[in-house]
Amino acid sequence: MFEDEGETGYFYACDKRNGDDPIVDALHIYDVAEAEKGKKLYLYQIIWSEDGLKAGLFIDNFCHAIFNFDSGRGYCRTNFPSESHEFTETHEWKDECLKWFKLSS
C-alpha cells in the first residue's frame, strides 16, 4: 500500500492476517515539501513480479522501493527507516532487485 498523507510518502508491506494492525514494514519514499518542487502530477504504480512475491513502487516509471515477501525484505532508495525488526533487517537499496520486474521501455 502507498500513502501520501500530506507531509511524507510511505510504501507499506501489509499482512491482512494481522487483523487491526496489518502493516509489517514501512519504507520512506519522500518528504512532500521536497517532492513538490517543480512537477505537481505524478504517476504512481505498484507493480508485482511474475511470481507475485515482490512488489515495487514506481513513480513516473522510476522504482523507489521494493518489498520481497518471499524473503521478508524491503529495499528503498532513502534506506529509511534503516531497519524494522518485524519484517527486514535493512532497507538498503540494491539495483539488482529491478530484475524481478518486466518493464516495457
Nearest CA to 55 among 40, 42, 70, 43? 70
Nearest CA to 95 among 40, 56, 59? 56
Distance CA 89, CA 74 (A): 9
**End-to-end distance of the chain based on CA atoms, in angstroms?**
25
Q: Would you state the pLDDT for residue 85?
A: 58
Reported pTM: 0.86
Per-residue pLDDT of the chain (105 residues; tens, 9 = 90+): 999 988 999 999 998 888 898 998 999 999 988 766 666 778 999 999 999 999 999 999 999 999 999 999 999 998 888 666 567 778 999 999 999 998 765
